[in-house]
């Protein structure tokens, strides 16, 4: 159940990354902090792929500051959005 909730939040964050100009800065900041915290927590527990969550959170800070690249945004968005496919199989 918790895994599904985290996957939904990840997917929403991925969508936010694609359309940041439509999302309030407070939500983008919260999404960034969520990814950084989740990435660190799970990485320290040995999940190597969670490093990408951490990096996506750090990148989201750059997106908030308007230092973004569409290719990198699409990469992280796909990475985050695809997680929902695995939890609702």
pLDDT at 42 (0 to 100): 93
In a domain, 64, yes or no: yes
Q: What is the number of domains present in the chain? A: 1
Global pTM value? 0.91
In a domain, 88, yes or no: no
Task: Give me the domain span that covers residue 37.
Answer: 2-83
pLDDT at 89 (0 to 100): 67
CA distance 62 to 87: 29
CA distance 6 to 11: 9
- Is the confidence at residue 86, as pLDDT, over 70? yes
In a domain, 9, yes or no: yes
In a domain, 89, yes or no: no
pLDDT in tens, 8-60: 999 999 999 999 999 999 999 999 999 999 999 999 999 898 999 999 999 99
């Amino acid at each position: 159940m918790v895994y599904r909730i985290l996957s939904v939040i990840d997917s929403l964050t991925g969508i936010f990354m694609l359309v940041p100009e439509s999302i309030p800065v407070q939500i983008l900041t919260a999404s960034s902090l969520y990814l950084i915290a989740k990435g660190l927590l799970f990485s320290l527990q040995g999940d190597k792929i969670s490093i990408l969550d951490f990096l996506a959170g750090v990148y989201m800070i750059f997106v908030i500051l308007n230092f973004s690249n569409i290719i990198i945004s699409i990469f992280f968005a796909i990475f985050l959005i695809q997680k929902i496919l695995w939890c609702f199989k």
